[in-house]
Chains A and B, each alone.
Chain A
């Protein structure tokens, strides 16, 4: 009896595993095909029927991406824009999330929420004009500033949710212990909110890194970020798939690695009612 039950359970599990593998297969096959494309020479990429595992690995595709397309510069641009926009957002957004949560400032929270729902494109027209007048186009500043449109609301929104759940008693205890409001924040609220800050940081980082729409309008030849650079390769080198796939992989690889390592935080942040930015 028990043995039959156990056998049944094992079978169930194997069945579920099989179904799960089927569900995951579009993801796995896609990425495998992406890698395959990036490692094949043109002849094999143009072959019919398609070839999955190339005869000779075309590592030159990757070399070519960096050599001929200024990818080191674009990678560095991406790092600067995303890094600055994320750090600024944390510096501004974490205290703001704290303040809004403590003030129960519903209206501020609603503004943040609407900002998250607004299409990024609608910020682009006015800010584009503004940057033009300020003569900032051609530098990285316009992109750093406009990425704040994405990163600040994410950080504030996640931090509001986080600070709302941290117990008020701790902060009261600290103020009785003689802490000023700033000390309460720095010495008690902030250390406790560390997990929330990590979540906000990772999501802001990813959404900023992935952002494309701001770059196509604001970036010049020397200030492109990676997503824009990849897109530009598409329009100029429609035929050579190998380097194109290699470039695509280079752009998205950091994010995918981060996703695998910080899965828990990403899940926490996204299920907290997060709408993707931009």
Chain B
């Protein structure tokens, strides 16, 4: 186990810059999730930590060692790939023991460690099988087992759950997290799924176009998004964004809708500046605050109701946790919790 430091990392492919001057500190034993839309550079970053991709500039440190110039085999890391990358010509046992065999470890010791890892993951009965004889979830476990057996300094996960169906994904999410809590190895986990990030991470790094948008604990990111990108990316359904200005103690959108200001806002501060008003769908309640909307879309799942309301010419998404009776075309009165409102500077996108 070791801390990982990324210092001023850059990456370009030819003239195309993929990552610009990026620094992250990962503490010993921390579970860090790199999250962002596809093409944000998260996988490239992970592959650079793994040693599968060269850094164009900057340093990567694992523990006290500077590893930027070390090939993957000397970095003492383990990686779980999106497609599992199990060796098709080896049994589960051979797959899991392969790294130790390469190190010329004592076979009895290897067998012992493989057995222990198999127990942790419930793979004892599958040790003689070949990967093609396993289900998706079992392959996923073998890939993790292969990582555990190594007892490496760092675990790397590259979108490991994206090939599983929705139900299994939730189960494996829990298993990976449980494994981390049990073994405590520093982990870097890449995903495009913000729910995976929120549920698993000690610390989330939100990436966008090769830059860090925000680093923080999951709930910090939810409560205090640094900018419009993070606010829109974290949370599902996405936050409502309404463009407008502060006028006479209220927020007036460009299309004329009037909304309450945040609880602690001092109106004078922002007066006249173009702003973006952010409110999460789950922070809107049925109520009478003078805002009325006609239901354009209503989707109930039983536990909650998602609705899109046409309020004047603005459309606002709402997520109601209580069972209320709305149908398409109904007019609904809503109230917004001022404590949950975010204001963003339109020009910079930064939260105010």
Binding site for B on A (CB under 8 A): 167, 169-170, 172-180, 183, 187-188, 191-192, 194
Contacts and interface: CB of A to CB of B under 8 A. Distances in A.
B72 A175 contact: yes
Interface string B16-34: 0000000000000000000
Interface magnitude class on chain B: 20 to 34
* Interface residues of chain A: helix, strand, loop or mixed (majority): helix
B98 A177 contact: yes
Nearest to A170: B85
Contact of B50 (A167, A170, A176, A183): A176
Contacts of A173: 79, 81, 85, 87, 146
Contact of B51 (A169, A176, A177): A176
Interface in B48-104: 50-52, 71-75, 77-79, 81-83, 85, 87-89, 98-99, 102-103
Interface centre among B51, B75, B88 (most CB of A within 10 A): B88
A177 B50 contact: no
A175 B73 contact: yes
A192 B85 contact: no
B203 interface: no
Nearest to B152: A176
A178 B85 contact: no
A31 B119 CA distance: 62
A189 to B, nearest CB: 10
Contacts of B141: none
B77 A192 contact: no
A187 to B, nearest CB: 8
A191 B150 CA distance: 23
Contacts of A176: 50-52, 72-73, 75, 77-79
12 contacts: A170-B87, A172-B79, A172-B81, A173-B146, A175-B52, A175-B71, A175-B72, A176-B77, A176-B79, A178-B74, A187-B102, A192-B87
Nearest to B103: A178
A172 B52 contact: yes
A6 B152 CA distance: 64
A192 B89 contact: yes
A175 B89 CA distance: 17
A172 B71 CA distance: 11
